[in-house]
Chains A and B, each alone.
Chain A
Amino acid sequence: MSIKLNALFSDSYVDVSQYRDQHFKGNRYEQEKLLKQANTLYVGNLSFYTTEEQVYELFSKSGDVKRIIIGLDKVKKTACGFCFVEYYTRTDAENAMRFVNGTRLDDRIIRTDWDAGFKEGRQYGRGKSGGQVRDEYRQDYDPARGGYGKDSIGWQVIGIVAFKGNF
């Protein structure tokens, strides 16, 4: 009886994006596998002032949150605009991709993406100055993310591989 009619019932909000963590320990195949089973989401474009409480409240709307790890500036150890949200079930994480991704938190459109799983050390920004890479070379002024980019004057072309893309 049942054929699925894949042509119709697409679920594109749940698809894995193009981004791959370059620091991932393992091969591409393993990474893909983990992403497809993940219960953890990377959340980007947060304001530096967004609190764990706010993230909890918003992401609890798609299910029970297991833990939140706020991303920190490696040098200053203060929030630098990203975090990880881990759910108990994949279904809850999928609903977050469908209904929280691309919506507002603290007046900013946030972006979520699948993550292969939190490991110690991944809570730190990887930019030269300690924050996120995207804030190193950012040219615009964003008061919620420390103002101008750290190196906005002398920005270099970096491979697409290391850069977290558009928001």
Chain B
Amino acid sequence: MSRRRHSDGDDGGQSHKRRRTSEPIEIEDRLESLICRVGEKSTSSLESNLEGLAGVLEADLPNYKNKILRILCAVARLLPEKLTVYTTLVGLLNARNYNFGGEFVEAMIRQLKETLKANLYTEALYLVRFLCDLVNCHVIAAPSMVAMFENFVSVTQEEDVPQVRSDWFVYVVLSSLPWVGKELYEKKDVEMDRLLNQIDGYLKRRLKTHVPMLQVWTAEKPHPQEEYLDCLWAQIQKLKKDRWQERHILRPYIAFDSVLCEALQHNLPPFTPPAHMPDCQYPMPRVIFRMFDYTDAPEGPVMPGSHSVERFVIEDNLHNIIKSHWKERKTCAAQLLSYPGKNKIPLNYHIVEVIFGELFQLPCPPHIDVMYTTLLIELCKLQPGSLPQVLAQATEMMYMRLDTMNTTCIDRLLNWFSHHLNQLSFTQLFILFNKPKPKFVKEVLEKCMRLSYHQRIVDIVPPTFSALIPADPIFFYKYQDEANSALPGYAVAITVGNAIKNRASNEEILTVLKDVPNPNQEDDDDEGEGFNPLKIEVFLQTLLHLAAKSFSHSFSALAKFHEILKVLTDCDEGKLHILRVVYEVWRNHPQMISVLVDKLIRTQIVDCAAVANWLFSPNMAHEFTRFYVWEILHSTIRKMNKHVQKIQKELEEAKDKLERQQHKKVGSRSNSEDEDGQLEEQIERLQEKVESAQSEQKNLFLVIFQRFIMMLTEHLVRCETGSVDFSTPWYKNCIERLQQIFLMHHVTIQQYMGTLENLLFTAELDHHILAVYQQFCALQL
């Protein structure tokens, strides 16, 4: 039977002629392009494109075998959404060239070992799945695949290994079954049953301490937020009950069955999972995000149930498409919307669910938050008649269920919604006014105001809800007018103001400030230069008042009078007080407070611990549940982390430089001992800097955790003695904010686990608080 030879719809036979005179590099690029693009939109059918490409590659094997091997291994690793296209291609090649098939399998196994060694577990997963589908393409013999699975599952018998390790191996096996379950059961049902029983036993005994920390909603209704392995197990059970009939996955190899079943198969070499090492970083466990079910898509195709394997495959593919194209939002949107088989599923609902699932993923979204906002906008542009409605439906539902939503996720919802409104139109705000939830609405309006301006918000909020409008972001100057002339320091404030306006020098201003009495001091106490809160108040209020016009003005002011501020805030109390004054004057303008605190830290007028102490102080208790407070705290922690990383990097670079220098010396006769000495000195200094920075970082976390523990313990004790339910909205917010610290900075905190456990999260702690710590530990155990 002859088939027409086609390339990928391009110039078919022509390319063969051209190739003889082209450069090898050009040919390699062309091969890469041909392989990467197969399966994309084309005038010819997928089958004929695959057939054509297989012919082209077969012809190139003598000269470009290694390149072709490398490209195919790479697409196997990096393009899981096109898995079956490439396995079919490999199947066709194997049918034409048995040796090539064998070499490919060997290359894949090598790659698998390397990815596991390099902690690239997601890529390793795709490689295994590819190998599984090669069973369907008659490249790999089913019994050898089953043997590999048996080795994977035997990891569950290992002792003293983190649970996340055996979790991963079980996940790999289960998640490959939608592709290859049928084939493996047909050939080796007894062994497969035994495997599944082992997995069942493991799943029953494994710990699920981590689940509460990772759930987006705490309520089980309307959609349970299931642990990811539990959900997958249910899906596989159902698939098994359906006798492994799976109809969603596109399987191009079926069309080639007559050719492929003539091919000789290879056996996978015995594969032992690499042993556990202390520096292995297994993927963290997850909770499956569900917000829709078949009742939510009113017309059109029915949404596959939460325990159907179709749901698993669709979500997996959509996640992979986002992973491949997130940097190019238009392409990403187009790729999502051209999902093959989209006519049989309510695609818009799946897309929206997957996107929010990623945005709300705990501990962190896979990609930067703002990407999801722009992706949704692009999707709305491409499907203006249908997608905005699904999005509105989703928004309304999430808004209704705020009470049981994890606080970290509420933060992200808030950010997304306000940015989204700003991009499309504010009319969607009406959703919030149907059944207003005051706290959330206020925060949304405040965020919207930051992106526009106060009057705009006043104009769009219905008059009945005017209480929810954010405050006008004005400056509060204590020494504003003559009415305040009785206030201590008033006179000096006027003088200082004039001095600044007349461009007095720092010395002159400090002299003026000497006249400010110190309310903390005894009259006969001659301390002189101690902490004087009034001095700080007079100077800073006046300075910030003069610079209140814009961020730039305020930053200039802080820079210009940096010296004075340093002198005034030399001690911890001084630092705390400067933050209090900033709050006093700008309490209606949280955005300004945020950027000023940022500048004060960066110019080292205050340190991170001072900011933490200030936010947790009784003065700020009434703002404790405001969104901006946590923005500031997390931003502060991030600055601390980046600072440590920066110095560590400098140290590494200096060490590398020294090493390179010493290597060079070995051959030469020049005496560069001086250079070495200098470098060594620099390294020593950097080492000290790193240690000091790390110490500051550890202290910051200790301060924060201590404060949380104090606040929460106090609340719990008070409720117990008063016989009142402790689970108030304030408590929910506070305990979830504690969780949030762990989740958002888990990488850094992991370094300090020992200290945390010994000093703070001890067995004496109230079990409600200790539970948060234990859940966190469970993320990597």
- The interface of chain A, by Cβ under 8 A from chain B, is 1-3, 5-14, 51-54, 56-58, 61-62, 64, 67-70, 95, 98-100, 103-106
Residues of chain A lying within 8 A (CB to CB) of residue B423: 103-104
Render B577-615 as a binary contact track against A, CB cut-off 8 A, 1 for contact: 000000000000001100100100000000000000000
Residues of chain B lying within 8 A (CB to CB) of residue A103: 374, 377, 423
Report if B111 contacts A (CB, 8 A): yes
- Which listed residue (A57, A70, A98) contacts B371, Cβ 8 A? A98
Rounded to whole Å, the gap between the CB of B372 and the closest CB of chain A is 9
- Which listed residue (B70, B79, B451, B453) contacts A58, Cβ 8 A? B451
The reply to whether A99 and B36 contact each other, CB–CB distance below 8 Å, is no
Cα-based distance from A10 to B324 in the complex (angstroms): 10
Render B673-702 as a binary contact track against A, CB cut-off 8 A, 1 for contact: 000000000000000000000000000000
Given A54-B451, A99-B370, A99-B373, CB of A8 within 8 Å of CB of B36: yes
Report if B728 contacts A (CB, 8 A): no
Cα-based distance from A161 to B115 in the complex (angstroms): 49
The reply to whether B324 and A105 contact each other, CB–CB distance below 8 Å, is no
Name the CB-closest residue of B to A105.
Answer: B451
Given A8-B78, A52-B551, 8 further pairs, Cβ under 8 A: A3-B71, A3-B74, A5-B78, A6-B32, A13-B327, A52-B552, A53-B550, A56-B591
Report if B33 contacts A (CB, 8 A): yes
The reply to whether B451 and A99 contact each other, CB–CB distance below 8 Å, is no
Cα-based distance from A10 to B328 in the complex (angstroms): 8
For this complex, 14 residue pairs linking A to B, each with C-beta atoms less than 8 Å apart, are: A1-B111, A5-B36, A6-B32, A13-B327, A54-B450, A54-B453, A61-B370, A64-B639, A67-B555, A98-B327, A98-B328, A98-B374, A104-B422, A105-B422
Interface residue ranges of B459-496 to A (CB < 8 Å): none
The reply to whether A99 and B371 contact each other, CB–CB distance below 8 Å, is yes
Residues of chain A lying within 8 A (CB to CB) of residue B75: 5
Report if B329 contacts A (CB, 8 A): yes
Report if B10 contacts A (CB, 8 A): no
Which 10 pairs show the lowest CB-CB distances between chains A and B? A61-B370, A57-B450, A7-B36, A99-B370, A11-B327, A99-B374, A7-B33, A1-B114, A8-B36, A52-B551
Report if B452 contacts A (CB, 8 A): yes
Cα-based distance from A62 to B371 in the complex (angstroms): 9
Report if B419 contacts A (CB, 8 A): yes
The reply to whether A5 and B74 contact each other, CB–CB distance below 8 Å, is yes
Rounded to whole Å, the gap between the CB of B211 and the closest CB of chain A is 31
Given A52-B552, A57-B451, CB of A7 within 8 Å of CB of B37: yes
Cα-based distance from A69 to B552 in the complex (angstroms): 8
Cα-based distance from A11 to B328 in the complex (angstroms): 6
The reply to whether B37 and A57 contact each other, CB–CB distance below 8 Å, is no
The reply to whether A61 and B369 contact each other, CB–CB distance below 8 Å, is yes
Rounded to whole Å, the gap between the CB of B318 and the closest CB of chain A is 18
Residues of chain B lying within 8 A (CB to CB) of residue A68: 551-552
Place the interface of chain B in its size category.
35 or more
Residues of chain A lying within 8 A (CB to CB) of residue B70: 3
Residues of chain B lying within 8 A (CB to CB) of residue A61: 369-370, 373, 415, 419
Render B95-112 as a binary contact track against A, CB cut-off 8 A, 1 for contact: 000000000000000110
Name the CB-closest residue of B to A106.
Answer: B452
Q: Which residue, of B79, B327, B373, has the highest number of chain A Cβ atoms within 10 A?
A: B327
Q: Provide the main secondary structure of the chain B interface.
A: helix
Residues of chain B lying within 8 A (CB to CB) of residue A69: 552
The reply to whether A100 and B74 contact each other, CB–CB distance below 8 Å, is no
Cα-based distance from A13 to B375 in the complex (angstroms): 14
Report if B368 contacts A (CB, 8 A): yes
The reply to whether B552 and A99 contact each other, CB–CB distance below 8 Å, is no
Cα-based distance from A6 to B30 in the complex (angstroms): 12
Rounded to whole Å, the gap between the CB of A64 and the closest CB of chain B is 8
Interface residue ranges of B356-378 to A (CB < 8 Å): 368-371, 373-374, 377
The reply to whether A95 and B551 contact each other, CB–CB distance below 8 Å, is no
Rounded to whole Å, the gap between the CB of A95 and the closest CB of chain B is 6
The reply to whether B450 and A53 contact each other, CB–CB distance below 8 Å, is yes
Cα-based distance from A95 to B550 in the complex (angstroms): 26
The reply to whether B328 and A13 contact each other, CB–CB distance below 8 Å, is yes
Name the CB-closest residue of B to A91.
Answer: B368
Residues of chain B lying within 8 A (CB to CB) of residue A2: 74
Q: Which residue, of B368, B369, B591, has the highest number of chain A Cβ atoms within 10 A?
A: B368
Cα-based distance from A55 to B110 in the complex (angstroms): 50
Rounded to whole Å, the gap between the CB of A92 and the closest CB of chain B is 9
The reply to whether B36 and A70 contact each other, CB–CB distance below 8 Å, is no
Cα-based distance from A105 to B74 in the complex (angstroms): 40
Residues of chain B lying within 8 A (CB to CB) of residue A51: 453, 550
Cα-based distance from A68 to B422 in the complex (angstroms): 21
Name the CB-closest residue of A to B115.
Answer: A1
Cα-based distance from A43 to B221 in the complex (angstroms): 46
Cα-based distance from A100 to B422 in the complex (angstroms): 12
Cα-based distance from A52 to B324 in the complex (angstroms): 35
Residues of chain B lying within 8 A (CB to CB) of residue A104: 422-423
Rounded to whole Å, the gap between the CB of B75 and the closest CB of chain A is 7
Render B365-405 as a binary contact track against A, CB cut-off 8 A, 1 for contact: 00011110110010000000000000000000000000000
Name the CB-closest residue of B to A54.
Answer: B451
Name the CB-closest residue of B to A10.
Answer: B328
Residues of chain B lying within 8 A (CB to CB) of residue A105: 422, 451
Rounded to whole Å, the gap between the CB of A67 and the closest CB of chain B is 7
Residues of chain B lying within 8 A (CB to CB) of residue A64: 598, 635, 638-639
Q: Which residue, of B324, B369, B370, B415, has the highest number of chain A Cβ atoms within 10 A?
A: B370
Cα-based distance from A13 to B370 in the complex (angstroms): 15
Given A7-B33, A7-B37, A67-B555, CB of A99 within 8 Å of CB of B324: no
Rounded to whole Å, the gap between the CB of B321 and the closest CB of chain A is 12
Rounded to whole Å, the gap between the CB of B332 and the closest CB of chain A is 10
Rounded to whole Å, the gap between the CB of A97 and the closest CB of chain B is 10
Interface residue ranges of B22-53 to A (CB < 8 Å): 29, 32-33, 36-37
Cα-based distance from A6 to B78 in the complex (angstroms): 12
Given A1-B114, A13-B328, A57-B591, CB of A52 within 8 Å of CB of B37: no
Cα-based distance from A13 to B327 in the complex (angstroms): 8
Cα-based distance from A52 to B453 in the complex (angstroms): 11
Residues of chain A lying within 8 A (CB to CB) of residue B328: 10-13, 98
Residues of chain B lying within 8 A (CB to CB) of residue A8: 36, 78-79, 324
Given A3-B70, A52-B550, A53-B550, CB of A99 within 8 Å of CB of B329: yes
Render B623-637 as a binary contact track against A, CB cut-off 8 A, 1 for contact: 000000000000100
Cα-based distance from A118 to B171 in the complex (angstroms): 51
Cα-based distance from A53 to B453 in the complex (angstroms): 9
Given A53-B551, A61-B419, A105-B451, CB of A100 within 8 Å of CB of B79: no
Residues of chain B lying within 8 A (CB to CB) of residue A100: 370
Rounded to whole Å, the gap between the CB of B86 and the closest CB of chain A is 12
Cα-based distance from A56 to B598 in the complex (angstroms): 13
Rounded to whole Å, the gap between the CB of A60 and the closest CB of chain B is 9
Cα-based distance from A62 to B419 in the complex (angstroms): 13
Rounded to whole Å, the gap between the CB of B283 and the closest CB of chain A is 20
Cα-based distance from A11 to B330 in the complex (angstroms): 11
Cα-based distance from A39 to B199 in the complex (angstroms): 51
Cα-based distance from A9 to B553 in the complex (angstroms): 43
Rounded to whole Å, the gap between the CB of A49 and the closest CB of chain B is 8
Q: Which residue, of A5, A14, A64, has the highest number of chain B Cβ atoms within 10 A?
A: A5
Name the CB-closest residue of A to B374.
Answer: A99
The reply to whether A70 and B552 contact each other, CB–CB distance below 8 Å, is yes
Residues of chain A lying within 8 A (CB to CB) of residue B452: 54, 106
- Which listed residue (B32, B115, B371, B635) contacts A5, Cβ 8 A? B32
Cα-based distance from A140 to B78 in the complex (angstroms): 48
Cα-based distance from A68 to B452 in the complex (angstroms): 17
Residues of chain A lying within 8 A (CB to CB) of residue B591: 53, 56-57
Rounded to whole Å, the gap between the CB of A83 and the closest CB of chain B is 11
The reply to whether B324 and A9 contact each other, CB–CB distance below 8 Å, is yes
Rounded to whole Å, the gap between the CB of B760 and the closest CB of chain A is 29
Residues of chain B lying within 8 A (CB to CB) of residue A62: 368, 370
Rounded to whole Å, the gap between the CB of A107 and the closest CB of chain B is 9
Rounded to whole Å, the gap between the CB of B642 and the closest CB of chain A is 8
- Which listed residue (B371, B595, B639) contacts A56, Cβ 8 A? B595
